[in-house]
Structure 1
Amino acid sequence: MIREFEHIDLRDRNSFHVAQTAARLVEFETPDELRELFSAGAPRQWYVLGGGNNILFTRDYEGVLFCPVGEGITTLGEQGGTVRLRVEAGVEWDVLVAWSVERGLWGLENLSLIPGKAGAAPVQNIGAYGCEVKDALESVEMFCVETGNMLVMDAAHCGFGYRESLFKHALRGKVIITAITLRLSRTPRPRLEYGDLQREVEALGGPTLEHIREAVCTIRRSKLPDPAVTGNAGSFFKNPVVEKPVAERLRESYPDMPLYPAADPTKVKLAAGWLIDRTGLKGYHEGRVGVHDRQALVLVNLGGATGGEVLAFARKVQAKVHEKFGVAIDTEVNIL
């Protein structure tokens, strides 16, 4: 069922809790409803707003926000221990992870407690603890705004990279994701490359699905602020990927600097949180905005901050990191 709102306060629809408004917001459940909404053509300005967990509104939004609210999870079939699921875009991601763990399905457990909706997961190629959504994704169903047709794109064609996809670039503003299909497994496939996760799982008694999910949730809760209590969008910055010689030169000056392999073997991934921490900004704040005191990747709204204040503070953090290390850190959060 289509539900429409005009001049709506977005404070409770974005995890930073900034008090901006939208001229119009529309909730939809099905592709047919989307087709109806776009039957007269696309609005001049529009954006898909899922859970509001990876966005910073810096001004009132003068266009239309489309919000998927379909919450169906359907088992499409099982073969050789592989289970295929169709998940509608409005499903809360962590509800999906819990659902899969309860049914003994491997593949999403490392992505526990990531906020947001299932439809947004491919856009950002969400990831944590050595896993990304692309590892379990089979295909994406989407509504083509220009033609009104439904399209299905295989995961191999989605242009996935580190927090990247075609949906952020070539397909931005052209399609709306309505559902995803996942391939999960009944065969145990624990991914415990990260030391803190491995230690937590071992302390719980070993690598079962339940233990891995519990361990990930425990670690995330210990490091990350609850958006319901403190406004934030999780990791505000992406880990920078640099050429190997750059990483090696930095490692000479900072022997304890953590380095991680990148998809490109000629490059290395640095830890943005570590870089920010070493500038002395961890726990630092100016006015109503600050860097979280337990995870330097996270910027927090300490109460009543505007999106503009958060963005200005983020630019200062980027400048400090570049000044000290000569490395640019990009924002992970979508800024409107």
Structure 2
Amino acid sequence: MKREFQRIDLRDRNSFHVVQLADRLVEFDSAEELRELFARERPEKWMVLSGGNNILFTRDYDGLIVTPVADRIAILDERDDRVRVRAEAGAEWDDLVAWTVDRGLWGLENLSLIPGKAGAAPVQNIGAYGAEAKDCLESVECLFTETGAVETLAADRCAFGYRDSIFKRELKGRAVILSATFVLSRTPRPRLGYGDVIREVEALGGATLHNIREAICRIRRSKLPDTAELGNAGSFFKNPVVERAFAERLKAEWPDMPLYPSDEGGERVKLAAGWLIDRCGLKGYRRGAVGVHEKQALVLVNHGGATGGEVIELARLVQRTVRERFGVEIDTEVNIV
């Protein structure tokens, strides 16, 4: 089923709820519909807009937006402990996590309550509480718009990194994700490396699959604003990765500064951007209609009526303040258009 809109207001299609127009938006339900669209015309400018949870519009979009709406989730096959699950791009990510937990499948539970769609998860390599999408991802099915070919990319071809993938780089503007396939397990494999998760799970009665999901949902709700009530895109900034020697000098001055292992190896470690912003006195800071969330300093919020430009100005203030105080650069996680 395909719907098409002209000069559409994107306010209800982005979680920041900023008011911007798009020249044209097309929803597609299948590879065939998408293939026909790009075969019929060759738009000079186009982009994918899925759930709109990791994007900030700073101007009207003078091109074509394509949006996946197919949302089927299914078990492909099961062999011993391995269960392969395919989710179409338009499925709500947290619906997918709940679906797997209800069926006793381990692997995605630590990613509970992350907003967005299943098709966007590989792009950003979403992660939380010691887990990332790539940990369970087997492959990504995508359509190449120049040729109309549908290809399945194995996970090792997707160049996954910290909040990064080939879909943000080489394949940006070339491929549209149609579905993702995950390999999950029926064997309990709890990941409880974060103190607040352990405490909440224990309070709920132990490390069952449902308890872990419930614990993480409770923690996220206690820290992160509901996008229906307060416009935001979740974590606006990435946690910076720095040289271990530099981090240790900072920790000598700030003993309570948390450090985390980095995927880049032993000589580099990850700092907590939220902690850095908080120590700069910016948690809860407000400038007009925009602000830093009072419970989570990684989150910038729209209190109502803010423009994308105003959000960017606040982001630059936060980056500059952290750089001046700690000598650390923090990059944005949100896709800015």
Query: What is the TM-score with the length of structure 1 in the denominator?
Result: 0.99
Aligned partners of 2:11 and 2:41: how far apart in 1? 29
Unmatched tracts of structure 1, length 5 or more:
none
Aligned partners of 2:328 and 2:144: how far apart in 1? 38
1:303 equivalent in alignment to 2:282? no
Offset from partner CA, 1:174-205 (integer Å, 9 cap, x none)? 10000011101000000000000000000000
Aligned partners of 2:118 and 2:24: how far apart in 1? 23
Offset from partner CA, 1:49-74 (integer Å, 9 cap, x none)? 01000000000001111000001112
**Which residue of 1 is the match for residue 60 of structure 2?**
60
**Which residue of 1 is the match for residue 201 of structure 2?**
201
Aligned partners of 1:71 and 1:165: how far apart in 2? 22
- Tell me the SS of whatever aligns to 1:18: coil
**Which residue of 1 is the match for residue 221 of structure 2?**
221
Q: How does 1:67-146 map to 2 (within 5 A)?
A: 67-146=67-146
How far apart are 1:80 and its partner, in Å? Answer: 1.3
1:312 equivalent in alignment to 2:313? yes
- Tell me the SS of whatever aligns to 1:87: strand
Q: How does 1:137-216 map to 2 (within 5 A)?
A: 137-216=137-216
**Which residue of 1 is the match for residue 271 of structure 2?**
270
- Tell me the SS of whatever aligns to 1:65: strand
Aligned partners of 2:133 and 2:42: how far apart in 1? 29
Aligned partners of 1:161 and 1:242: how far apart in 2? 15
The list of structure 1 runs, each at least 4 consecutive aligned residues, that deviate by more than 6 angstroms after superposition, is none
User: Residue 239 of structure 2 aligns to which amino acid in structure 1?
Assistant: N
User: Residue 278 of structure 2 aligns to which amino acid in structure 1?
Assistant: D
Aligned partners of 1:126 and 1:251: how far apart in 2? 28
- Tell me the SS of whatever aligns to 1:38: helix
Aligned partners of 1:317 and 1:141: how far apart in 2? 37
Aligned partners of 2:129 and 2:7: how far apart in 1? 40
- Tell me the SS of whatever aligns to 1:35: helix
**Which residue of 1 is the match for residue 336 of structure 2?**
335
Aligned partners of 1:185 and 1:306: how far apart in 2? 44
Offset from partner CA, 1:219-263 (integer Å, 9 cap, x none)? 000000000000000000000000111101111111110000001
- Tell me the SS of whatever aligns to 1:47: strand
How far apart are 1:145 and its partner, in Å? Answer: 1.1
**Which residue of 1 is the match for residue 292 of structure 2?**
291
Offset from partner CA, 1:97-154 (integer Å, 9 cap, x none)? 0000000000000000000000000000000000000011000000001111001100
Query: What is the TM-score with the length of structure 2 in the denominator?
Result: 0.99
Aligned partners of 1:126 and 1:49: how far apart in 2? 16
Aligned length: 336
Offset from partner CA, 1:267-322 (integer Å, 9 cap, x none)? 00000000000000000011110000000000000110000100111011000000
Aligned partners of 2:41 and 2:160: how far apart in 1? 29
How far apart are 1:42 and its partner, in Å? Answer: 3.0
Aligned partners of 2:255 and 2:92: how far apart in 1? 41
Aligned partners of 1:37 and 1:243: how far apart in 2? 47
Offset from partner CA, 1:8-59 (integer Å, 9 cap, x none)? 0111000000010100000001000110110134311111001000000000
User: Residue 296 of structure 1 aligns to which amino acid in structure 2?
Assistant: A
Q: How does 1:17-56 map to 2 (within 5 A)?
A: 17-56=17-56
User: Residue 304 of structure 2 aligns to which amino acid in structure 1?
Assistant: G
